[in-house]
A and B are shown apart, each in its own frame.
Chain A
Amino acid sequence: MTDANVVHVESLSVSYGRTPAVDAVSLDVPSGSVYALLGRNGAGKSSLVRCLVGQQRPQHGRVALFGEDVWTRRAQLMQRTGIVPEEADAPPEMTIGRIAAFCGRLYGRWNDGAFGDRLARFGLTLDQRFGTLSKGQKKQVVLAITLASAPELLVLDDPTLGLDVVARKSLFDEVIGDLADRGTTILITTHDLAGVESLADRVGILRDGRLVLDEEMETLKSRFRRIRFASAPVALSAGNLLAATVTKWGNGTEAVVSNFDDVAFERFRGVANVAELSSMSLEEIFIAVAGGEDQS
């Protein structure tokens, strides 16, 4: 780990009984970057996030935030870390105002004005009881509280869950984009791949608890291509191409290759009957990588 890494995860394993949830995961999130942690339901994202913020002790491995062990230094590290959990967890009987007052006493960098402004933008008032809010509104309140403490690291666990389309777009474009521009380190788990695609600097994909992919967004997108062939089957090995998935496409074949290279491909094009070559979105890459048996 280097000092530039705000998050350092090392050989982290979590299991429930005999069922492994996270299996020897190691990853780093550099300072000021946006890290998108992707995975299907049950892939182990929430367990990893709970370990990441010191709420759960892993069976093996360790997590460091800002270079300090999160299990032993959680309370201190939470001054610099904001968390938006998957399920908004504030006490339902408290009003938004009381929640804010409570949190305001705990954070050294609490910004009441920023909290009020954000709340107004969400169309919420201080006297509303948390328990009476919709799922999306609860998420917005938690987000407003988290951001009011001006965190250096923001951990968002599926923040768009329950948000409508407009709120979701606002979250990605205005909130996360703005924070990223200001240098806040962000780790986000989400199923909204389109939303995170333009923001994330780095992507990690969890599959059955294992981190099967962890790299820069640009690199990732440059090495994945969809190639369609008019005939089938096609020997991709002839062009030294690795197929992530191979499916039927009309009378031909569609292959997603994970090690695309312009020069190699030009040589391959000459011997194969390539009908179409296209780049892929993050969602398509995710399906190819994390789709598992559903896609094969």
Chain B
Amino acid sequence: MTGTLAIAAREIRERTFVFVTAAMISLMPFIVALLMPHGGGTPPASIIIITGAFAAAGLTIAVAIMLGSSIIGRELTEHRLSFYFSKPVSASAIWFGKLTGAFVIIVLCFAVTLLPSLLVAHGEWRTTWGFSIPFWSAVVLGCAASLLLTSHALATIVRSRSPLAALDLALFAAYVALAWVIVRPLMLSGAFGLTGFVAGVILLTLPLSILGAGWWQLSRGRTEIRSSHRQFSRFFWVAWGIVIAVTGAYVAWVFTAAPSDLKISAMAGNRRGDWFAISGQAPYRGDYEPTFLVDLKTGRSIRLPGGRLISPVAFTHGGDAVVMATSPDRISGRSDVRVYRLDPVYRQIETGVSAGMWSQVVASDDLRRLAVYESGNLSVQDLPSKTMMASVRIPFGYATGTSLFFVDDDTVRLYVRDSEDSNTRPVPHEIRIYEFDVRHRRLVQTGSVAADARMVFFRVSADGTTMFVSEYGGPKGASVHILDSRTGAERGVIESDVSPWITPLANGGAAYVSRHPASSMRIVDAHGTLVHDIPLGLAGFGSVSEVVPGKTYVVKVRNRDQGSTLLVVDAERGVVRRVEGATLRPELRGSDPRTPAANRSGEYAITGADDALWRWNALTGARTRVF
């Protein structure tokens, strides 16, 4: 310790000129403020604090680079390091003594340069910069410490004039490439938190590896410059290599997450309830959320490229295929559109189509057509030939919400909204309905729906004929209009205690959970007339899924106290059965506004209390664990 302190003290004393320079530069902000008293309308105190901050950061960084390139490298070149090695001090004391001295110089230099500006104008700091002085100081000093070590590494390599420098350069390029190979898949999977963590570990261990390499360099290389360089490189590349190998192994392990590891956060299923896309976090893998297609019948799972289920998962209306977009490329922001045929045989179908983040994509049931709506343009692809059949510009300003589906192979129907929901007051909404004739490349507006409410939601019945538009926060409170889905012509209205989350039923009616006066499941006919009102026995928002038309329904109710509760309702008998220890996860919906047809098989995917995935039959109550 004595040796370390003696060497640190010597380093500081030797470089007192740095403090004199810092003291002189600390006056610069005041001179600048004097020379430009009304500098562009900026108050003098702001000028002082801005100039002072830049001067302190600039000088600190410059001093760090200067010290890093000279504390060891220069003495090695000038054969003066033997002065220390001929004394009773260890190599560790020399290295850490010199580093401590250099860092103290850097800190003092920073403080001396910044302090006068802070004393005069510290009140301006927050308003000028928007972050705290300790935070900024830590950033500057952290950067300076890293640069101190990095410039030591460069000085060691350059000053030795050894051919080994070429190998260093090659290894650096190889390691950077490796780091990119490690980090890129995480980035592409949308796990930006984990990407930041892994990249941070790789970057942070760079100066730490140099720190260790410097110690090894002096311990093993001592006074001979080429030997010193050799030892530095040996330690540094091995240490950083180990870090890169470990992070690489970790990232490889992250991607081994199986469906059984997931704490499921998002789910989407087809109408038969046999195929599901599930996504969720796995232990020790940060925010990486892999997505799997799972066949509930067999438990077979297929890992989908990318990560989190962030793009709408569009099961085709028939449920035999799914359309998904991969996680968007970080640079272009575009995703590849992929189609996965599920039944009868799983197969991935390349579309050759890419889409932006806010685009809407649907496929026809027979997988012959793919429609993409993006930035006001609708285009239709012929999937077997991978050629674009037609495209059209939708003449309706900036659409904030668009849904679409194939009425038949040659007709796409679009519902385009051009209004934002409001949390505070009713605003005018308009939904325009278009049909695009692909074969004749003709766009026709077939109807429109106007509403005056805070929020507007709509669903289309499974057969595509009826449209249910929920107005929430309108002049009359909540109401649902039953409309012709092609023209928007009104067929009926539901006006009392209606929920915005309404489920179109197979008979043209609808079901919803009413909250007042107590929570109940209500079924209305195609004109909005109440047919059933079955008390649920617990309050909350809810959604309904039709199993056997007119008889069996699965209802999910959420409230603040009890969380999510699953119920099976027998509408004929008015009996409500509570399903214990089961959660029906919120389902992601695609761009197709049609409600899936009744789930006559009664098959659902649920998560149990243990977060495991179960196959559950609402008709029989049978449960089979999938993962």
Please report A residues at the B interface, Cβ cutoff 8 Å: 50, 53-57, 74-79, 83, 85, 87, 89-91, 93-94, 98, 102-103, 105-107
Contacts and interface: CB of A to CB of B under 8 A. Distances in A.
A87 B223 contact: no
Contacts of B82: 50, 55, 83, 85, 89
Given A78-B87, A85-B86, A91-B80, A55 B2 contact: no
A74 B223 CA distance: 13
A91 B14 contact: yes
Contacts of B223: 50, 55-56
24 contacts: A50-B82, A50-B223, A53-B85, A53-B86, A54-B85, A54-B222, A56-B223, A56-B227, A75-B89, A77-B88, A78-B86, A79-B88, A83-B82, A83-B86, A85-B86, A91-B14, A91-B80, A98-B10, A102-B10, A103-B87, A106-B87, A106-B88, A106-B89, A107-B88
Given A83-B86, A90-B83, A102 B6 contact: yes
A89 B227 CA distance: 19
A123 to B, nearest CB: 23
Nearest to A94: B14
Contacts of A89: 79-83, 86
B45 to A, nearest CB: 40
Interface string B46-84: 000000000000000000000000000000000111110
Q: Which of B6, B80, B85, B93 has the most CB of A within 10 A?
A: B85
Contacts of A54: 85, 222
Given A57-B220, A76-B88, A91-B83, 16 more contacts: A50-B224, A55-B86, A55-B224, A56-B222, A56-B223, A56-B224, A75-B3, A75-B88, A75-B89, A75-B90, A75-B91, A83-B86, A85-B82, A91-B14, A98-B10, A102-B6
A56 B80 CA distance: 14
A87 B79 contact: yes
B79 to A, nearest CB: 6
Contacts of A78: 86-89
Interface residues of B, number: 24
B51 to A, nearest CB: 32
A74 B90 CA distance: 8
A176 B13 CA distance: 34
A56 B91 CA distance: 13
Contacts of A56: 222-224, 227
A50 B79 CA distance: 12
B565 to A, nearest CB: 72
Interface of B: 2-3, 6, 10, 13-14, 79-83, 85-91, 93, 220, 222-224, 227
A103 B3 CA distance: 10
B354 to A, nearest CB: 56
A98 B13 contact: yes
A53 B2 CA distance: 21
A56 B230 CA distance: 13
A91 B94 CA distance: 14
A36 B227 CA distance: 28
A213 to B, nearest CB: 27
Nearest to A77: B88
Among all A-B residue pairs, the 4 with the closest Cβ atoms: A78-B88, A83-B86, A89-B83, A75-B90
Q: Is the interface of A mostly helix, strand, loop or mixed?
A: loop
B88 A55 contact: no
A56 B85 CA distance: 10
A57 B80 contact: no
Q: Which of A50, A79, A89, A91 has the most CB of B within 10 A?
A: A89
Contacts of A105: 2, 6
Contacts of B87: 78, 103, 106-107
Nearest to B17: A93
Contacts of B93: 75
A14 to B, nearest CB: 10
A149 B455 CA distance: 89
A90 B85 CA distance: 11
Contacts of B86: 53, 55, 78, 83, 85, 89
A102 to B, nearest CB: 5
B283 to A, nearest CB: 45
Q: Which of A53, A55, A79 has the most CB of B within 10 A?
A: A55
A63 to B, nearest CB: 13
A174 to B, nearest CB: 23
Contacts of A77: 88
B76 to A, nearest CB: 11
Nearest to A80: B88
A92 to B, nearest CB: 8
A75 B80 CA distance: 17
B227 A106 contact: no
Contact of B6 (A53, A90, A94, A106): A106
Contacts of A75: 3, 88-91, 93
Nearest to B83: A89
B2 A106 contact: yes
Contacts of B91: 75
B221 to A, nearest CB: 9
A75 B222 CA distance: 12
A63 B232 CA distance: 24
A75 to B, nearest CB: 4
B215 to A, nearest CB: 14
A55 B90 contact: no
A16 to B, nearest CB: 8
B227 A57 contact: yes
A55 B85 contact: yes
Nearest to A90: B83
A50 B82 CA distance: 9
A107 B87 CA distance: 8
Contacts of A74: 85, 90
Nearest to B222: A55
A107 B3 CA distance: 10
A50 B227 CA distance: 13
A74 B87 CA distance: 9
Contacts of A85: 82, 86
Contacts of A83: 82, 86
Contacts of B14: 91, 93-94
